[in-house]
């Protein structure tokens, strides 16, 4: 029995036949085909400052596919950060940040090699700045968790194997008007940045945990002190 879901890919172009290995290797989870279950969000992602794009609709048959759910109980916020650190380009402003990166990769990077599809939150530029501040010891783990609740990240579905691509079927494409959707995208980002600045300016508590504390405390995957998942 098939397990069909509908997903959308926001792009400047109509993409009828996605190809494995194409795209930006420095995306959140590395090379893959990045989609969303929400057509309106795909339209936002499709639009740039000067041009509109398309929300490409697909049916994906999940039958027989191995799906990694980063929002599930098996993972935590540090697993998500470790994946970003492994794939995105971070500004390492000091030795603590460099050590923190290596520690996250060593202790919290999940193995994605056996999966066909990854689902998890998307790190827009504003949310990427949260992760960057945490890595540079400028944001506590609690502040990072709060920051993730400040706006709607949007969950993404990422195809990362040839098997997944073979079970994807193009349905149609729908235009995304720049004048409508780029302002929505900009507003989402601006509101998240404003909320982030407010959260970052809050007074630090004596029991706040930073990346340096995590290293000093030898935190490991499965540690009860880690939030079990990204907040809703």
pLDDT digits (tens), the chain, 232 positions: 569 999 999 999 999 999 988 877 778 888 999 999 999 999 998 998 889 999 999 999 999 999 999 888 888 889 988 998 898 877 777 888 889 999 999 999 999 999 999 998 876 666 677 778 888 888 888 888 777 666 555 688 999 999 999 999 999 999 999 999 999 888 877 877 777 777 667 666 667 899 999 999 999 988 888 876 654 4
At residue 33, the 3 state secondary structure works out as: strand
Taking each helix axis as running N to C, give the angle between helix 95-107 and helix 125-135, from 0 to 180 degrees, rounded to the nearest 10. Answer: 100
Which two tokens mark 163?
């098997």
Q: What digits encode the pLDDT tens for the residues 209-226?
A: 999 999 999 999 888 888
Check residue 74 and report its DSSP letter: T
Structure confidence at residue 27 (pLDDT):
84
CB-CB contact of 10 with 65 (8 Å):
no
Q: What digits encode the pLDDT tens for the residues 118-168?
A: 998 876 666 677 778 888 888 888 888 777 666 555 688 999 999 999 999
Structure confidence at residue 232 (pLDDT):
47
Structure confidence at residue 206 (pLDDT):
66
Measured distance CA(112)–CA(96) in Å, rounded: 27
Torsion sign (Cα): 213, 90, 42, 20: negative
Structure confidence at residue 205 (pLDDT):
67
How much is the pTM?
A: 0.86
Measured distance CA(118)–CA(18) in Å, rounded: 16
The domains located in the chain, with CATH, are 4-216 (3.90.175)
Which residues 6+ apart lie within 8 Å of 166 measured at CB?
none
Please, how many CA atoms are within 13 Å of residue 180, restricted to the half-sphere of its CB?
Answer: 10
Measured distance CA(31)–CA(110) in Å, rounded: 16
């Amino acid at each position: 029995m098939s397990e069909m879901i509908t997903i959308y890919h926001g792009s400047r172009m109509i993409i009828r036949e996605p190809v494995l290995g194409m795209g930006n290797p420095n995306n959140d989870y590395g090379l893959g085909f990045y989609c969303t279950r929400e057509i309106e969000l795909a339209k936002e992602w499709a639009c740039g400052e000067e041009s509109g794009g398309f929300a490409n609709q697909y049916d994906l048959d999940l039958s027989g596919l191995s799906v990694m759910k980063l929002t599930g109980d098996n993972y935590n916020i540090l697993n998500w950060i470790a994946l970003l650190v492994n794939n995105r380009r971070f500004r390492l402003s000091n030795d603590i940040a460099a050590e923190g990166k290596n520690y996250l990769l060593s202790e919290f990077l999940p193995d994605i090699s056996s999966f066909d599809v990854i689902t998890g939150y998307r790190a827009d530029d504003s949310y990427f700045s949260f992760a960057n501040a945490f890595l540079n010891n400028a944001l506590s783990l609690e502040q990072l968790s709060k920051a993730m609740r400040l706006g709607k990240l949007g969950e993404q579905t990422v195809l990362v194997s040839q098997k997944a691509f073979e079970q994807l079927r193009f349905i149609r494409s729908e235009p995304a008007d720049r004048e409508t959707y780029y302002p929505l995208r900009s507003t989402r980002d601006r509101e998240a940045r404003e909320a982030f600045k407010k959260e970052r300016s809050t007074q630090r508590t004596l029991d706040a945990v930073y990346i340096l504390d995590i290293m000093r405390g030898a935190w490991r995957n499965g540690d009860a002190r880690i939030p079990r998942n990204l907040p809703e």
